[in-house]
Structures are given as C-alpha cells and as structure tokens.
Structure 1
Amino acid sequence: ASQNLSDEFAEAARQLKTEAPRILFGKIDVTDQHDLNKEFNIREFPTVKFFVDGSREEPIDCKGVRQASAFIKWVKRRIGPSTVLINSTDQAEAIINADDLRVIGFFKAIHWKTQKELHNDSREVFYETAKDVPEMPFGMTSREDICANYGIQKNTLVVFKKGKPVRNEVLEDGRQNKLDLTRLIKTFTLDLMLSLVSQTSVKIFDVPVENHILLFIPTNSKTFNATYENYKSAAVEFRGKV
C-alpha cells in the first residue's frame, strides 16, 4: 500500500510540475531523518503534509487521499476555490447531473458579519470541508431562485446521487464543524453495503466514525440471504449513526 501511494504521489508531482510549477513535491525517509520525524510528530506511514509559504508551523495533513487525481484536486483546492459557484438553475441542473455523486451547498444571501461570526459561518465550514474531500465534486449557491427551485429555505447541504437527493442537512452557524460535514458526506456517498476487499477498505475506514460494524459470513451458508437482508435493514436504520 505504501509503494502504491508513493507511485500515485510521484504521478501527481509529475502532472502538477507543468500545471502548477510553484508547487513542489518531496519525499523524506523519516527512519533516517529522526529530527524531522520528531519535529512533525510522524506516527504512521505514509504521511503526507502540505506546507504553505515555506512555513514549518502547522502543516496541513492530507488524509484519505490515495490516487494521483485526488492528490491533484486536493492541492488545487488548497490554493484555489474548493467549490464551483452556481449562478443559474440551468447550471445547477448540469452540475448535479454531471457526476454520479455531487455535494451542493444552498445558502442564504451573505450579510455583514464579524470576524468571529465568519469563523463559525456554515458557508465557511462547507468551503473548508470541500478542501478535504477531493474525491467529491462540490458546488454552492446563494441565489434565491436556485434554492426555491429545489425547495430549499434554509442553509442546507444536499448530497445528490445520480441526480437525486439522498441526504439533506440543514446547516446552522456554529453547530456543525468540518469533521461533522466530512463524516456526513462520506457516509452518504458510500453504498449502503460494501464487501470488505483491499479496494474498498480505504473508503470504508476513511469515514471518520467511532465504530464500524462488519459482517463475517460464508456466502455459501444456507442462512446467508436471510442474514444479509436483516443486516441490510439494520444498516438503513443506523446509517449515519454508526
């Protein structure tokens, strides 16, 4: 897994060398560079950190990103807009139907706020969340006609799957943080039931929840179908809770 990530990291560096030459990529063997290991408190391998303006203070951790394309999106969202600004209902329809999955933030028109209020503003939390979920396309709008077209009356995050809303979450300033929104988005963009194999394990365990429930049962068991259906029913009821 470490070698695969190293290869994807190198591919992202190769592509961004042309697109964004001011972004530099590097690799460090912290088993040899003990001082750097201690300075940046490296506890797992591999670890990817993003340094801004040459500062060694509080580098940004890049977690859950495993493919070159996701690395590139993650970096671009760090240095530029993390969401698409939607300005018309036609654009909204096109964006929502362009991908299997899409996250859209519907917000009321901006009014003047203090710096403290802006820090807790649900719009700002949504914007920051988009930076950390590069595998997911994000869009946002404050247009009243677009919100009305989707029946939205409050600040709301909507997860769309194949053009249909699968989760609506009303956003309130100061109530949800970035981790809350990341958990919600990753939970409701995963299939309800997934087989645990190497390709899906990263997606499953990347969802920031406290508990995962796994079913271990032989597929050739006489009770498999009944057990599976009961397990699936429980998954529907407890989705987003476990």
Structure 2
Amino acid sequence: MMRTLLLLCVIFCCLSVSVAGDSSTSLPEENGVLLLKKDNFNRALKQNKQLLVHFFAPLSGDSQRLALAFRGAAEQLIGSEVKLGVVDVSKETNLTKELNATTPPPLRLYLSGDRHNPVPCPVFQSSASIVTWLKRRAGPSADIITDLNQSDRLVASEELVVLGLFKDVERGRVEVFYAAAVDLPDLPFSVTRDQDIFRKYDITQDSVLLVRQSTPVQVLKVTSQMTKEDLISFITVHQLELVTEYNGQTASRILSSPVLNHAILFVNKTDERFQTVYSDFQAAAAPYRGKVLFVMVDVDEPRNGRMLEYFRVRESEAPMVRLVNLTSHVTYHLPSDTLDTPTIIAFCKTYLDGTAQPKMQSEALPADWDQKPVIQLVGENLERLAFNPDKTAFIMFYLPYSEESRSLFPLWEELALHFLDREEVVIARIDASANDFNLSMRERYPALRLFPALHAERVVAYSGQRNLKDLVQFLEKEMERAKMDRAQEEEDRRKYIETQKAIEAKEAKEAKEEKQEL
C-alpha cells in the first residue's frame, strides 16, 4: 500500500513539474517580438490573450517597412496585454497555409487562443498607428471634446482632424463614428456634443466634419442608414487634398484610396510654367472629387525615378498628364499639348465615358523571344499567344527593378524546364513596366496568370505557394479542367453548326417551294 501511494506521489510530482514547465517555457523573441514557428505557435496563443502576428515576407519592400513599424510598436507595448509575434512566411510555409495567411492582410490579431478567427488589421503607416489601433479597439476610439477652446486647440495642432458632432455621444448614430475610428488609426478622431462647437461650424444635426489646419473642408450629415464603410469611404476620399503630391509620406494613402481612377500630372516644380499648369490641374480636380484622384509627380525629384520608369515618362516630356485605373495596366495619354482646365476636364470626361482611346505601348520583339525555355513576351504578341486556343500559357508579369520579381526568375526557369517536352504548354514572362496590356491586375507584381487552351478567353490568377510542386499541380489541374471545358465547347460548336445547317436547309426548301408555286 505504501509503495503504491509513494508511486502515485512521484507520478503526480512529475506531472506537476511537466505542466508547470510547459506553461512557463519562454518563447524565442527578438526586439520584443516573438519568433513564431509551427512548433510554438499554439503555445504563444495559450500564453497571450491578445497576439498580434505579422506574416513577414522577406522579399517584399512593404513587408520590410511594416517590420520596422512592428518592432517600434512592440517596444511601446511592453507590459501591456498585447504581445507581438512574427511568422516568416518564406520558412514557415506549412504554418502559413494552415492559418490561411498566404493572402493579405499581413497583420492579424488572435484573441483568447482562437487560431481560426483572427481579427484582420488595417494597413498601418507607423508604429504609432499600430498602438493607436489596439488602444481604440479597447476603447474609447475617439477623444471627447468638452468645449470650444479644447476644439480650437486640437484642430490648430493637427494637419487634419475628423470631428464628430453628435447630440448623443454614447449611443445611436455615433456608434458608426466610433467604429470607423478604429479602422483609421492614422487619423485623429474627436467627438463632441458641445453646442458652441455646433454653432461655430453652422451644424444643426449629427455630422462628421473634416478640419484641415483649422479650416473645415468637408462635412457629411450622418443618417440612421449610414454604415461604417460609408463613413470610411467618405473620410479616405476627402482626407487627401484636391491634388496630392506623390512622395514617401503620401504614397500609401494614394494607393489605398478607394478612388481607383488616377489623373497624374508629371511636372518639374522648378519650371517657370509650374504654377500655371498646377493651378489649371487643381481647378480640373474639383468636379471629379470622388471619381478621379488627382496626383502630381515632380520629375525633378530623384526619388520619383521609379514612377517615371513605370509610366515610361522622360523628364524632358514634362509637363504631361496620364490617366490610369489601378485595377488595369492600360494608360491613357492626354491627346493635347495644352494643359489648361477645360482640356483636362474634357479628357477626364471621355475617360469616364469610356470613349478615350488608350495608348498601348510595347517593347520591340526580341529576335530570340521564343528560343529559350521561358518565352519573353512583349505587348504586341501577348494576347496572340495568351489566347491561343491550342496552347496553355502560364505567364509571369514582372517589374525588372523589383527584387521580389527577380527572385522568382529561377523558379520560373525551373517550371519551364519541367514542361519543356510538352508542346501544348508555354511558360512565359513579360515586363509590366515596359508593355501595356488590357488585363486586370489587382495584386502587386510579380503577378502570375494562367491562360487555358480554350476558345473562350479565360484568365486564372494564381495565388498559391510559389514553389515548383504547387505550381505544377496548379497547372495540371487547370489543364484537366480546360480539357473538359474544351470538350463542351466542341460539343456546343457541333450543335450550333448542325442547327445552322438545319436552318439553312429549311430556308432553302421553303425558297424552292415558293419558286415552284410561282
């Protein structure tokens, strides 16, 4: 009996030590950020009620910038309930796939150990915005303004303030305002019910006011039907000035704007004509607020070289205006050397009406374009090869100056060699910065598109893991699918021809009978 009790005691002690050791085992970290892997991710979830995870892609410039902001936020959050962690998606491919984190957003907040329902995060511009977002989630998400003096000090100290004027600041319509504030952490949000502030801005009902350097620039009346998304769209459209200069501070706001049509003025700010051209461009922007985003690029700024290269603009060609939609790669050129307000307005109108003619540019076709395993396409032969009904074409759209694009070249060569003996398969690439094409590209480059061997012009975007095994499986699967669809196409075509022949025979018979009657 004593031996049995002693044995049970030893087992209990061992279990206790084991459990205690498991819960207290420290996780590896660097600069206050947990280094998460497949074998410690669940433990990190159990140890932290709030775990903000950055799915880091080493070859992405955006991911590198976000990593810096992430480390800064980790330092500010030491001692809080929130812990920050990072997963290197290039190494932890299985974990990334398990967590369904192969696509944006790159930041996700895991709550109470739930790995299946993370909170998606907005795009953060800085470590301050990460901390602000977390604080606003905990509440309150907007500062309460109690009097006019406090309001005046606030709007004078900030470049832009989102000011909510609500008769009830605790419930009802103001809840949409609080929800929007959480998702826009880069902007200061304040709310008030003070009647002096209502009178100053001549507001009589619940409204949201955008105040830029003490000057009200836009007001939106809040209705009971308004959603958080409606308010966010209003704010993001109007937070930018009528004309926004492209630079390191504004680039992300320009690219994240819900307005996808962009009119871009390429101009040298030191040119004696600059002020006249800029004033006319700015005047043309007002009628198209919310429809076209007006952007200015200084061609004399060395850091804008990539923009000039992307749009194939020479400094000597400035000033000039281009129109582009971010979901396509088609560029429209203002067909005039006159850059006055009426001309620019008319150009935007034809673009929105769909009557403007794009200027499709193409590199010269290389002499050996089809002599290597990876075929090099240009604008003039892209569609001819991509939509060949007898070929399955898998094409990489890349930027030559992008490290992320160049890093994919060896894999693309490997894929081409894998299918080298399959004449019906074409592995190709095209420089997206030097050739125009009428295809929708919603993701960043390099973008991968499959064009199945069909008469119908089908385009399939690839969003899986970028390794040889997954690429081959994807291609084989789509080819099998296309084979079945092609058989259906042939059957439909056969039926159509038979139907047409029957109609022609019937018409011929009726014509013959009519002739005999005559």
Instruction: Flag as ranges the 4+ runs of structure 1 deviating above 4 A.
Output: 217-227
Which structure is higher in strand share?
Answer: 2
Higher relative contact order (CA 8 A, sep 6+): 1
C-alpha separation in 2, matches of 1:81 and 1:40: 31
Among candidates 219, 222, 225, match of residue 168 of structure 1: 219
Offset of residue 146 of structure 1: 3.5
Farther-moved stretch of structure 1 (157-166 vs 137-146): 137-146
Alignment partner, residue 85 of structure 1? 144
Q: Which one-letter code corresponds to 2:124 in the other structure? A: V
Alignment partner, residue 125 of structure 1? 176
Alignment partner, residue 40 of structure 1? 100
C-alpha separation in 1, matches of 2:174 and 2:97: 36
C-alpha separation in 1, matches of 2:111 and 2:260: 31
Offset of residue 221 of structure 1: 7.6
Question: Do the aligned partners of 2:168 and 2:174 also contact (CA within 8 Å) in 1?
Answer: no
C-alpha separation in 1, matches of 2:197 and 2:274: 46
C-alpha separation in 1, matches of 2:126 and 2:87: 19
1:74-153 aligned at under 5 Å gives the runs 74-109=133-168, 121-153=172-204
Alignment partner, residue 114 of structure 1? none
Distance change (3 Å), C-alpha of 1:7 and 1:238 = same
1:2-13 aligned at under 5 Å gives the runs 2-13=63-74
Q: Which one-letter code corresponds to 1:132 in the other structure? A: D
Among candidates 148, 155, 169, match of residue 206 of structure 2: 155
Farther-moved stretch of structure 1 (75-84 vs 52-61): 52-61
Alignment partner, residue 115 of structure 1? none
Offset of residue 104 of structure 1: 0.7
Q: Deviations over 1:97-124 (max 9, x none)?
A: 232211111112379xxxxxx7xx5311
RMSD of the TM alignment (CA)?
2.6
C-alpha separation in 2, matches of 1:208 and 1:40: 25
Paired residue secondary structure (2:261): coil
C-alpha separation in 2, matches of 1:218 and 1:91: 41
Among candidates 29, 36, 60, match of residue 119 of structure 2: 60
C-alpha separation in 1, matches of 2:75 and 2:281: 45
Give percent identity, aligned residues only. Answer: 30
C-alpha separation in 2, matches of 1:190 and 1:79: 28
C-alpha separation in 2, matches of 1:5 and 1:223: 39
Alignment partner, residue 230 of structure 1? 280
- What TM-score does the superposition give when structure 1 sets the normalisation length? 0.82
Distance change (3 Å), C-alpha of 1:110 and 1:66 = closer
Structure 1: tracts of 5 or more residues without a match: 112-117
C-alpha separation in 2, matches of 1:81 and 1:26: 25
The aligned length equals 230
C-alpha separation in 2, matches of 1:235 and 1:8: 34
Paired residue secondary structure (1:103): strand
Structure 2: tracts of 5 or more residues without a match: 1-60, 293-518
Farther-moved stretch of structure 1 (122-131 vs 140-149): 140-149
Alignment partner, residue 291 of structure 2? 241
C-alpha separation in 2, matches of 1:155 and 1:143: 12
Q: Deviations over 1:60-113 (max 9, x none)?
A: 2222212111111111111221101122223222322232211111112379xx
Offset of residue 57 of structure 1: 4.2
C-alpha separation in 2, matches of 1:163 and 1:145: 16
Distance change (3 Å), C-alpha of 1:144 and 1:54 = farther
- What TM-score does the superposition give when structure 2 sets the normalisation length? 0.41
Distance change (3 Å), C-alpha of 1:164 and 1:50 = same
Larger radius of gyration: 2
